[in-house]
Amino acid sequence: MAGGFEPGGDAGEMHEINVTPFIDVMLVLLIIFMVAAPLATVDTDVDLPGSTAARRETPDKPVTLTLTADRSVRVDGVPVAPEALGGALDGLTGGNRETRIHLKADRSVDYGSMMGLLDRLRGAGYLKVALAGQEGGDNP
């Protein structure tokens, strides 16, 4: 009997690894991460003013400070009381006052509110502030 199982013979062990199930699992995980990654970002709905300045490179995970239309302050999407702003930033930056803070403010925010937030940043020791705006400005 050619190729059959014989009671005293060699059963013919396979010495190769079957990688097909491994590849299937990896492709499923890849698809899951591709779908889940955009959902993991936290965005606050802010109507940013436009800018015609050239785009600059940003760090992988910038610290974002947002001043919303109702004058509430958010640090990386988390609401923060104005008096706790310094502590919240220290927690995200590890106390590194040289970290650049990306500031987003709603178009409807008045100049006084913006200056008040910048004063709180300066009081906390954060002097490197980048103002964020929409690309392709439509401002006069």
**Dihedrals φ, ψ of 10, to 5°?**
-80, 130
18 falls within a domain: no
Q: Which parts of the chain sit beneath pLDDT 50?
A: 1, 140
43 falls within a domain: no
| Domain of residue 103, CATH code | 3.30.420.270
Residues in Cβ contact with 128 at an 8 Å cutoff, skipping those fewer than 6 apart:
98, 99, 100, 101
106 falls within a domain: yes
Domain ranges, residue 96 = 63-132
Q: How many domains does the chain have?
A: 1
pTM: 0.56
pLDDT, tens digit (0-9, with 9 covering 90-100), for 17-36: 888 889 999 999 999 988 88
85 falls within a domain: yes
